[in-house]
Structure 1
Amino acid sequence: MKLLLVRHGETDHNSDDLISGQVDVKLNETGVRQAKRLANRMDDWDIDSCYSSDLERTYKTVERVAERHGLDIRISKDLRERAFGEFEGRPKDDWRQKVRNSDQERIKISSEKGESLKQVGERLVNQLDQISRENKQDEVVLVGSHSVAIKAAILRVFDLKGRYYGKLEQGNAALTILRYERGEFVLDTMNDTSHLE
């Protein structure tokens, strides 16, 4: 099975360097263009099913692809972005400061009413496992999610330490491809944004 993990297109929160988390923000004009370019890239790809976070920015990104392939989108809250609690809507520098000042291992840091990288990685990987059980081994599945969630899943799947998180990139409308073979994930492509050039 091939899993096409896509991050949503740009939002004003992204361009303003704010934490969106689970706040339901919309794609901005750039994000809409990025979603169209992603859909154009996948026009002649064989895609068997589509899943998406229930947050509008991701759903609208996946919808562009799904419509062209005549596919329904299965919605899952488990594909949502990391919950940042009271940091949602605030500048990313506020969160970075919290991480710098913490004595905890990066993967375990969370805010009040928020999730740690470990928790969001487990949530997303559990959902990817569920998706793999719902689809056949030879199928290609599009999965729309979010930057931190996808990076946390990569950490979890490949048993990477939290210190590698900052080295992982996940741009807007980026494509990451995982193969699921015999119960294990294999990384084919990470953070491919060539369709935006």
Structure 2
Amino acid sequence: MHVYFVRHGESEGNVTMVHQGPDVLLSPSGIAQSRALANRFRDIPVDRILSSDLNRAKVTAQIIAEAIEKDVSYVPVFRELISPKELEGLALSDDESVRIHDLRIKNQDDPNWRYSDEENFFDATKRAEQALQMLEELSSERVIVITHSLFVFHIIARILFPKGISPKDFRQFKKHADISNAGVTLCEFSREEQTWKLLSWNNETRLE
């Protein structure tokens, strides 16, 4: 089974560089990116589209679904990581944002520590594992999953490091890689061997 993990098109929050809530809209560029991506999928025999139920992912999924004439199933497990409620709407560079960010890093190795209502590294790792298990149970051969950048990193970390990765090493992994808006990361699941493989990362050109 081939799974195309797609980051949503550019959102207004990506443009303004703020911590995003669930209802943030796609920017005009994000809509154009989603339409271009939809055209790239026209020649792929996709069986199914799954999507995060956050608005920026839903709109991206709807644009693709209309182009390739498939329905979309909205699955909360593919949402972006939940951040502390205190961050929503704050600029990434805001002093309070930086303070909370630094506190979270300071406590990143403690699975029981949270600033408020967010997911910590261990919560996100568990949810990524649940997402992969859900995909493994599908009978489809080609699946598009519209999701979010941080969650793609967690999914790929579970594939590349099945025995686990430390929060510090995960941050290094994320620092030295990138996932563009509308970028496609292709993975393959072997039902016979029950293993995942990363085939391509952040593809922005031709799909196979």
> Per the shorter chain, which TM-score range?
0.7 to 0.9
Alignment-derived partner of residue 66 in structure 2: 67
Counterpart residue type for residue 174 of structure 1? G
Aligned-residue offset at 1:178: 0.7
Amino acid at match of 2:136: S
Determine which of 104, 107, 111 is the counterpart of 1:104.
107
> Aligned AA for 1:47?
V
Secondary structure of the 1:134 match is: coil
SS in 1 for 2:153: helix
Q: 179, 186, 190: which is aligned to 2:201?
A: 190
Q: CA deviation at 1:107?
A: 9.1
Q: Which runs of 5+ in 1 are unaligned?
A: none
Which residues of structure 2 form unaligned runs of 5+?
none
Q: CA deviation at 1:96?
A: 5.0
1:6 lines up with 2:10 in the alignment: no
Check the 8 A contact 1:125/1:157 in 2, yes or no. no
CA contact (8 A) 1:107 1:117 kept: no
Q: Which of the two has higher C-alpha Rg?
A: 2
SS of the residue corresponding to residue 194 of structure 1 reads: coil
d(CA) in 1 for partners of 2:204 and 2:33? 9
Instruction: Tell me the secondary structure at the aligned position of residue 92 of structure 1.
Output: coil
Match for 2:178 among 169, 172, 191?
169
TM-score (norm 1): 0.87
CA RMSD of aligned residues (A): 2.1
Are residues 107 and 129 of structure 1, via their aligned partners in 2, closer, same or farther at CA, if it must alter by over 3 Å? farther
Could you tell me the TM-score, scaled by structure 2's length? 0.83
Mapped to 2, the partners of 1:107 and 1:6 lie a distance apart of 30
Q: Quick one: distance in 1 between partners of 2:110 and 2:202?
A: 21
**1:132: which partner in 2?**
136
Q: Note the C-alpha offset of 1:110.
A: 4.6
Specify whether residues 14 and 107 from structure 1 end up closer, same or farther in structure 2 by C-alpha distance, changes over 3 A only. Answer: farther
Matches within 5 A, 1:16-95: 16-20=16-20, 22-85=21-84, 86-94=86-94, 95=97
Q: Give me the identity figure in percent.
A: 25
Q: Deviations over 1:8-60 (max 9, x none)?
A: 1011110111121x522111101100000100111111101010011121111
Deviates more, 1:126-135 or 1:36-45: 126-135
> Secondary structure at 1:180's aligned position in 2?
strand
Give 1:131 shift. Answer: 2.1
Distance 2:109 2:182 in 1: 26
| Residue matched to 1:179 | 188
Most deviating of 35-44 and 155-164 = 155-164
In 2 relative to 1, CA 19–9 (structure 1 residues): closer, same or farther, beyond 3 Å? same
Letter in 2 for 1:184: T
